[in-house]
Amino acid sequence: MGLSSDKPPLLFPQPAASEWMAVYQTACLDSKDAATREVYLRILRQFAQWAALLPGMGHTFQPAQLTPTVVGRYLTMLKEEGYSVSHRSRVKSVLKQFCQWLIEEQQVLSRNPTRGVEVKAQEMLTPRVLSPKQRFVLCHLVDQHADLRGQAIFALGYWAGCRVSDVSHLLLANAHVGPKLGWLRVGHKGEKFREIDLLNEVRRPLHLYLQHGGRDESSPYVFTSQRSPHLTEYGIHQWWRTLKQQATSDQWALIGDVTFHDLRHDFAHRARDAGWTLEEVAYYLGHVTQRGTPAIQTTIRYTQVSRAQVREKLRLLRE
């Protein structure tokens, strides 16, 4: 079944499955298992939502307008938002297969726009350490908005160093949070689960959200959304962008390029400043080897010192 070229561009995504998505799913995805199919569809929906908002797209998803520039810009955006190399590589693979189908079966494209677009390995940069002013602005923005879900999500990143995947896939059964005590069983990435106790700065907003945040009670996940059983990683990044957009121009100059993952880096630095050992930071963040031992080398990268830190320590030297 093809898509006739005389039809107007399809609005995408639609409340129901779009014609593009339905045809592609039937032709190429139905043979895959349910979990893989859902990953493919979610990646394509997220890409289509983003692409439809590009200049000249007219708020519609137009496959004929896909170019290497569009694909490259999308992958760059994912990198800037803190998505891993493995996730970006998977996105490129899914888009490559979809575009190949557009070429061979729909005759919409003449060349695959993923060709020549590279997903470069993560550079070994010194992880982000936030300044006191940056920390104040971010905490202030979160406090300003009566968003119980957002306050709980921020607390898990800032006060517990959780990954976006940890937050997105956190199960209600693994959240043991009460009025006085709280601990979580977290870990989605590579199925490396860990149990962590929570500071009151995390426990309070999380408990408040679970009690009064209006989550979908039928979902097994802690953080829910109207579109799926749980708030996706993409949804968390969208929330983060929306939060930062509430900043004034002066505030934006401080936090405009801060990613949610930077909260995790900053937590590691603050933990070290508080006297935690590298082994303790590694355990809490989930940096473990295949044998279950602390992955110290990974944690060291998270807590690398800066020139400014060393300069401050120089002042403490005495004869």
Q: What is the rounded distance in angstroms from the CA atom of residue 127 to the CA atom of residue 142?
A: 23
**What are the CB-based long-range contacts (under 8 Å, 24+) for 61-67?**
61/9, 61/10, 61/11, 61/12, 61/13, 61/18, 61/20, 62/9, 63/20, 63/99, 63/102, 63/106, 63/108, 63/109, 64/108, 64/109, 66/99, 66/102, 66/109, 66/113, 67/113
Mean pLDDT of 18-38: 81
- The pTM score is 0.65
pLDDT in tens, 48-84: 888 888 887 777 778 888 899 999 999 988 887 767 7
Count other C-beta atoms under 10 Å from residue 6's C-beta: 4
**Per-residue pLDDT for 299 more than 90?**
no
User: In whole numbers, what is the pLDDT of the chain averaged over residues?
Assistant: 82
pLDDT in tens, 240-289: 999 999 999 999 999 998 999 999 989 988 988 888 888 888 888 887 66
Count other C-beta atoms under 10 Å from residue 288's C-beta: 17
Of the candidates 259, 264, 253, 247, which has an alpha carbon nearest to the alpha carbon of residue 142?
247
**Per-residue pLDDT for 306 more than 70?**
no
**Per-residue pLDDT for 33 more than 90?**
no
**Per-residue pLDDT for 297 more than 90?**
no
- Do the domains spanning 1-123 and 132-314 agree at the CATH topology level? no
Distance of CA 298 to the CA centre of its chain: 20
Count Cα neighbours of 288 within 13 Å in the Cβ-side half-sphere.
17
pLDDT band at 22 (very low <50, low <70, confident <90, very high): confident
**What are the CB-based long-range contacts (under 8 Å, 24+) for 256-262?**
257/80, 258/128, 258/130, 258/134, 258/138, 259/80, 259/81, 259/82, 259/128, 260/81, 260/82, 260/157, 260/164, 260/236, 261/82, 261/163, 261/164, 262/82, 262/127, 262/128, 262/130
Count Cα neighbours of 215 within 13 Å in the Cβ-side half-sphere.
25
**Per-residue pLDDT for 290 more than 90?**
no
Domain extents in the chain: 1-123, 132-314
Q: What is the rounded distance in angstroms from the CA atom of residue 193 to the CA atom of residue 179?
A: 24
Can you read off the two tokens belonging to residue 131?
Answer: 């300044």
Angle at 263 between CA 216 and CA 35, to 5 degrees: 45
Q: What is the rounded distance in angstroms from the CA atom of residue 202 to the CA atom of residue 142?
A: 13
Position 5 scores a pLDDT of: 38
Q: What is the rounded distance in angstroms from the CA atom of residue 158 to the CA atom of residue 156?
A: 6
Question: Hey, what CATH class is 1-123 in?
Answer: mainly alpha
pLDDT band at 11 (very low <50, low <70, confident <90, very high): very low
Q: Dihedral through CA 70, CA 72, CA 73, CA 74, nearest 10?
A: 90
In this structure, are residues 196 and 284 in contact, taking their beta carbons and an 8 Å threshold?
A: yes
Q: Which residue matches tokens 């970006």?
A: 88
pLDDT band at 16 (very low <50, low <70, confident <90, very high): very low
Q: Which residue matches tokens 């408990």?
A: 207
pLDDT in tens, 109-131: 899 999 988 887 655 445 678 99
Least confident of 85-99, 135-149, 202-216: 85-99
pLDDT in tens, 135-180: 999 999 999 987 999 999 999 999 999 989 899 999 999 999 999 8
CATH architecture for the domain at 132-314: Orthogonal Bundle (1.10)
**Per-residue pLDDT for 15 more than 90?**
no
Position 308 scores a pLDDT of: 60
